[in-house]
Structure 1
Amino acid sequence: MTESRYDRVAQDSADVVILGAGPAGLVLGNLLLRAGIDCVVLERAGREHVRTRARAGFLAPNTVRVLERNGLDEGLRRRGQQHGVCEFRTEDGRFRLDYTNLGRREPHTVYPQQDLVADLLADYLDAGGRIDFETEALAVRDADGPTPAVTVRDRDGRPARWRARYVAACDGRHGAGRGSLPPGAVRCHHRDHGVSWLGLLAEAPPSLDAVGYAVHPRGFAGHMARSREITRYYLQCEPGAGTDAWSEDAIWDELAVRMGAARYGPLLRGRIVQRSVVRLESDVLEPLRHGNLFLVGDAAALISPSAAKGANLAVLGAEVLALALTDALAHGRTEPLEHYSQRCLAHIWRAQEFSHWMIRLLHGTPDSEESAPFQEGLRRARIAALRTSRAQQDWFAENYVGV
Structure 2
Amino acid sequence: MKTQVAIIGGGPSGLLLGQLLQRAGISNVILERQTPDYVRGRIRAGVLEQGMVELLRKAGVGERMDAEGLVHAGVEIAANGQRVHIDLAGLTGGKTVMIYGQTEVTRDLMAARQASGASTFYEASEVALHGLDSHQPWVTFNHNGQAQRLDCDYIAGCDGFHGVARQAIPADVLKVFERVYPFGWLGVLADTPPVNEELVYAAHPRGFALCSMRSPTRTRYYVQVAAGEQVQDWSDERFWDELKTRLPQDLAARLVTGPAIEKSIAPLRSFVAEPMQHGRLFLVGDAAHIVPPTGAKGLNLAASDVSTLFDILEQVYQHGRTDLLAQYSPTCLRRVWKAERFSWWMTSMLHQFPELDAFSQRIRDTELDYFLSSEAGRRTLAENYVGLPYEKLV
TM bracket (short chain): over 0.9
Q: Which residue of structure 2 lines up, in the alignment, with residue 131 of structure 1?
A: 120
The 5 Å alignment of 1:1-400 reads: 12-136=1-125, 138-154=127-143, 156-261=144-249, 264-367=252-355, 372-400=357-385
Q: Matched residue of 1:17: which SS?
A: strand
Give the counterpart letter for 1:225 in structure 2.
M
- Residue 112 of structure 2 aligns to a residue in which SS? helix
Within 1, Cα distance between the matches of 2:259 and 2:128?
A: 40
Kept in 1: contact 2:206–2:352 (CA 8 A): no
Instruction: Indicate the SS of the match to 2:78.
Output: strand
Offset at 1:260? 3.6
Q: Report if aligned partners of 1:42, 1:137 keep a CA contact under 8 Å in 2.
A: no
Change (3 A) 1:161 1:242: farther
Indicate how the Cα distance of structure 1 residues 335 and 234 shifts in structure 2: closer, same or farther if over 3 A, else same.
same
Instruction: Name the counterpart of 1:7.
Output: none
TM-score (structure 1 length as normaliser): 0.91
- Relative to structure 1, is the Cα distance of residues 18 and 342 closer, same or farther in structure 2, using a 3 angstrom cutoff? same
Total equivalences in the alignment: 388
Structure-1 separation of matches of 2:36 and 2:353? 41
What is the one-letter code of the residue matched to 1:117?
T
CA displacement, residues 257-311 of structure 1 (integer Å, 9 cap, x when unaligned)? 1114477523211111212221110111111111111100111211111111111
Q: Given that residues 30 and 121 in structure 2 are in contact (C-alpha distance below 8 angstroms), is that contact kept between their aligned partners in structure 1? A: yes
CA RMSD of aligned residues (A): 1.8
Residue aligning to 2:392: none
SS in 2 for 1:106: coil
Q: Deviations over 1:341-370 (max 9, x none)?
A: 111111111111111110111115442xxx
CA contact (8 A) 2:29 2:120 kept: yes
The question of whether the paired residues in 1 share the 8 Å contact of 2:184 and 2:227 is answered with yes
**C-alpha separation between the residues in 2 aligned to 1:200 and 1:158?**
41
Partners of 2:168 and 2:67 lie apart in 1 by 40
Query: 1:268 is aligned with what amino acid?
Result: V
Percent of aligned pairs with the same amino acid: 37
For residues 90 and 123 of structure 2, what CA distance do their matches in structure 1 show?
46
Letter in 2 for 1:296: V
Q: Where does structure 1 lack aligned partners over 5 or more consecutive residues? A: 1-11
Residues 37 and 330, structure 1, Cα contact 8 Å, conserved in 2: no
